[in-house]
Amino acid sequence: MHRTRVCLTAAIALFAHEAAAEMNFNRIASFATPLNMAEGEDQSRETSAEIISATEDGMTLVYTDSPLGVVGRIDITDPKAPKPLGNVDMTGEPTSVVVAGQTALIGVNTSESYTQPSGKLVTMDVASGEIISECDLGGQPDSIAKSADNSFVTLAIENERDEDLGDGRVGQEPAGFMVKLPLENNAAVCDGLQKIEVTGLTEIAPNDPEPEFADVNGLGEIAVTLQENNAIVIIGADGTVVNHFSAGAVDLTDIDATDERGALIFTEEQMGRLREPDGLGWIDDDHFIIANEGDMDGGARGVTVFHKNGTVVWESGNTMEHAVIHTGHYPDKRSDSKGAEPEGMEVATFGDTSYAFVLIERASLAAVYDVTDPANPVLKQMLPSGISPEGAVAIPERGILATANEADLIEDGGARAHVTIFEYQDAPAAYPTITSAGADELIGWGALSGMTYADGKVYAVNDSFYGYQPTIFQIDATQSPTKIEKAIRVTRAGKPAQKLDMEGITTDGEGGFWIASEGRTDRVIPHALYHVNAEGEIEDEIGLPAELMAVEKRFGFEGLTLIGDTLWMAVQREWKDDPENMTKLVSYNLETEEWGAVHYPKEAAETGWVGLSEITLHGDAVYLIERDNQIGAAAEIKQVTRVAVADLQPAPLGGELPVVSKEVVRDLIPDLQAPAGYVVDKVEGLTFDGQGNMLIVTDNDGVDDSSGETFFMNLGPVTPLN
């Protein structure tokens, strides 16, 4: 068994914007898969984009959509404005696709059961959607690959196991195998099918290989991963097995291996962690790179380059996952499993540079490695792919990369499945917009909420997603991308403070902070204000008065700011005593300890709700974020408003409150559309820097049912209050 130990300080050439003269991949468009449904179809059904390919001219994308049992087609003649070309029914579950010329070859699962697997290879004309032929494969197909000269295709016939049977482990028959079919005029020749056995080659389950992901090099050799068996098989151009070897193991250090649900602690290790690779791509005729996703017993959280003789040429160790952490995409809920889970793979050459695009499923990123020298890959970028990337296709002739992202969150009112398109540009990298790379320690972060500014630094808090690690992040917004420099842990008696949902922060003028915590009584989280010193220790706690607690709901303080001796807090939505579409701006005088409030008029929501996310003082006005809870194409209200300080005349609680006048300062939807993904729902933080520039940040929900994307934007100065 190959076992590799690597240094955690392995160098990576990240992050964005730092080398403007270099070529970079930037997102230029996203395509929501429901758009391919025909008029009159129920677009609320689950849909997906999993494996993706492109026609030879690079003008059409073809992807598999397992939930609908179709393949979808996208016109990318103008890659910045992709257009739907409709779906084609496969009468089965499409698992993979590759395009030769203008002909799509699609692996389709038609199995009745795990013990009676079956499948077919469908040949389809991409332009018309016409089915040209179908070949019986004799089992359940997984991945498909073709030779560069379009002379043959190969499929991994996985015959996957029933994970609910017994202990769910491999060792369940019938065994999987490989097949190879010749192509004539880019169509499969069914009677030329060659079955290639790969049983008896491994130690773990020699009778149940479950071949997973295959690729073909320039010599016509096939490399295939046997993920559950932690093995790789090399098949010669004549269809015979010429080599097979264990994928080996890695000693991982400085990782988070515990699902403590609420803290990013990278001090653990996993020694001898099996790679259990999924995706694989040939770099040249001798070397290939694998994505070590893991399955039953492993998952090495990185990538490895092998020579086809079985020698490990290079190992990423923990460095790829550390780059995920820097980007704010680390999926903490997966810590006790396989971490960020690199899964899919695409390798292609753009200009003189060979790239490997590694799809990191749980982090919703695509890692871009320069693999021109297979012994010394360099991590160049982390691309925001969309939720759960599964497949990718490169179109070097057009300078295009497309990723297929399988997760469709329609049932939860979230983002739909997307195909994301990137362009290879002579331009700075647009993502990430904020990173912790370069800090003195490894800083995990996410779920950013309220923000404030003082003495040249921005300070932001995380919310209750990281309830066991409440943190104030010190940020340098003068750099590009914005840099998280320091993590100040919020403590009570020296230990991580519990029962907080930090949604607002402001400085106290003396080096410390005031923090607003949004309460939730059913979880015993109080609505409260906290005075915190420069080291993060809570020095004072202020609960809400009886007048507010009598009418409270869970939608509490979402921001606070300090005006003179008075703290002002924005309540997200109506409490029990508020008229419809009115929410409170609550005041608390630090000297007199008096509470008061005014009413703020919210926009009415056609769908979902509208609420406040932030309040901050700038000049003679307070600026607020007012937003709906809608995402993607459904988003309608994301805006910055302001209220003159002179209008903030609080009345006593429990009586009629004065209604302030608001002015809409900026519609944020165009800003949120500019990154060319879907419009995120949670614009949470707002502050102004020393030059008067308005800064906003979005909340990525801790990468839970989210793409993980955080946008930190400098929107420039605002027009002064009249």
The predicted structure's pLDDT at residue 21? 56
Place of tokens 């946008």: 711
Residues 214-267: pLDDT tens digits? 999 999 999 999 999 999 999 999 999 999 999 999 999 999 999 876 899 999
Domains identified in the chain, total number? 2
The answer to whether residue 442 sits within a structural domain is no
Identify the domain boundary among 409, 432, 455. 432
Identify the domain boundary among 432, 460, 494. 432
- DSSP label at 395? E
Distances (CA, A) of 108 to 96, 215, 280, 307: 7, 18, 21, 32
Amino acid at 180: K
**In a shared domain, residues 454 and 422:** no
Q: What 3-state DSSP class applies to 526?
A: coil
The answer to whether residue 720 sits within a structural domain is no
**In a shared domain, residues 530 and 569:** yes
The predicted structure's pLDDT at residue 7? 35
The answer to whether residue 439 sits within a structural domain is no
Q: Which residues contact 155 (CB under 8 A, 6 or more apart)?
A: 96, 107, 121, 137, 141, 142, 143, 144, 178, 179, 181, 214
The fraction of the chain above a pLDDT of 70, given in percent, is: 97
The answer to whether residue 49 sits within a structural domain is yes
Q: Which residues contact 10 (CB under 8 A, 6 or more apart)?
A: 316, 317, 319
Element (H, E) at 434: strand 434-435
**In a shared domain, residues 577 and 669:** yes
The predicted structure's pLDDT at residue 19? 41
Read off the pLDDT of each residue in 631-656 and give the average, rounded to a whole number. 97
Query: Are 379 and 367 contacting, i.e. CB atoms less than 8 angstroms apart?
Result: yes
Query: Are 710 and 700 contacting, i.e. CB atoms less than 8 angstroms apart?
Result: yes
Phi, psi (5° rounding) for residue 85?
-115, 5
**In a shared domain, residues 192 and 322:** yes
Query: Are 517 and 571 contacting, i.e. CB atoms less than 8 angstroms apart?
Result: no
**In a shared domain, residues 421 and 500:** no
The answer to whether residue 147 sits within a structural domain is yes
The predicted structure's pLDDT at residue 22? 86
CA distance 98 to 226: 20
- For the cut 50, the answer to whether the pLDDT of residue 80 exceeds it is yes
- Range list of β-strands (E), 445-556: 448-454, 457-462, 471-476, 482-489, 491-492, 495-496, 502-507, 513-517, 528-532, 538-543
CA distance 108 to 97: 9
The answer to whether residue 441 sits within a structural domain is no
**In a shared domain, residues 273 and 417:** yes
Place of tokens 């290939």: 288
β-pair type (482-489, 434-435): parallel
Q: What is the CATH number of the domain that holds 550?
A: 2.115.10
CA distance 34 to 44: 8
Q: What is the CATH number of the domain that holds 182?
A: 2.130.10.10
- For the cut 90, the answer to whether the pLDDT of residue 600 exceeds it is yes
The mean pLDDT value of the chain amounts to: 95
Query: Are 665 and 707 contacting, i.e. CB atoms less than 8 angstroms apart?
Result: no
CA terminus-to-terminus distance, the chain: 73
Phi, psi (5° rounding) for residue 202?
-120, 165
CA distance 585 to 684: 16
- For the cut 50, the answer to whether the pLDDT of residue 664 exceeds it is yes
Residue 332's CB: how many other CB atoms inside 10 A? 25
Residue 147's CB: how many other CB atoms inside 10 A? 21
CA-based nearest residue to 256, from 181, 323, 331: 331
The predicted structure's pLDDT at residue 6? 39
**In a shared domain, residues 370 and 503:** no
**In a shared domain, residues 124 and 256:** yes
Contacts 24+ apart (CB under 8 A), 601-610: 601/659, 601/660, 601/662, 602/573, 602/626, 603/628, 603/637, 605/637, 606/636, 607/634, 607/636, 608/413, 609/573, 610/573, 610/581, 610/637
The answer to whether residue 360 sits within a structural domain is yes
Q: What is the DSSP string of 54-99?
A: E-TTS-EEEEEETTTTEEEEEE-SSTTS-EEEEEEE-SSEEEEEEE
Element (H, E) at 154: strand 152-157
Residue-wise burial string across 280-294, b where 16 or more C-beta atoms lie within 10 A, e elsewhere: bbbbeeebbbbbbbb
The fraction of the chain above a pLDDT of 90, given in percent, is: 93
For 192, the domain range is 3-432
The predicted structure's pLDDT at residue 1? 44
Residues 214-224: pLDDT tens digits? 999 999 999 99
Q: Which residues contact 121 (CB under 8 A, 6 or more apart)?
A: 105, 106, 107, 108, 134, 135, 137, 141, 144, 153, 155, 181, 188, 190
Greater pLDDT, 5 or 432: 432
Q: What 3-state DSSP class applies to 482?
A: strand
Query: Are 657 and 648 contacting, i.e. CB atoms less than 8 angstroms apart?
Result: no
- For the cut 90, the answer to whether the pLDDT of residue 15 exceeds it is no
Element (H, E) at 362: none
Residues 357-388: pLDDT tens digits? 999 999 999 999 999 999 999 999 999 999 99
Residues 109-156: pLDDT tens digits? 999 999 999 999 999 999 999 999 999 999 999 999 999 999 999 999
For residue 563, give both structure tokens.
Answer: 């005006």
The predicted structure's pLDDT at residue 2? 42
CA-based nearest residue to 339, from 356, 316, 355: 316
CA distance 76 to 74: 6
Residues 704-721: pLDDT tens digits? 989 999 999 999 999 988
Q: Which residues contact 191 (CB under 8 A, 6 or more apart)?
A: none
**In a shared domain, residues 505 and 406:** no
**In a shared domain, residues 623 and 588:** yes
- For the cut 60, the answer to whether the pLDDT of residue 5 exceeds it is no
The answer to whether residue 437 sits within a structural domain is no
Residues 607-634: pLDDT tens digits? 999 999 999 999 999 999 999 999 999 9
CA distance 79 to 400: 8
CA distance 298 to 304: 14
Identify the domain boundary among 432, 455, 473. 432
The predicted structure's pLDDT at residue 396? 98
**In a shared domain, residues 399 and 462:** no
The predicted structure's pLDDT at residue 166? 85
The predicted structure's pLDDT at residue 300? 97
**In a shared domain, residues 427 and 451:** no
Element (H, E) at 617: strand 610-618
Residues 554-569: pLDDT tens digits? 899 999 999 999 999 9
Dihedral angle sign, alpha carbons of residues 366, 367, 370, 374: negative
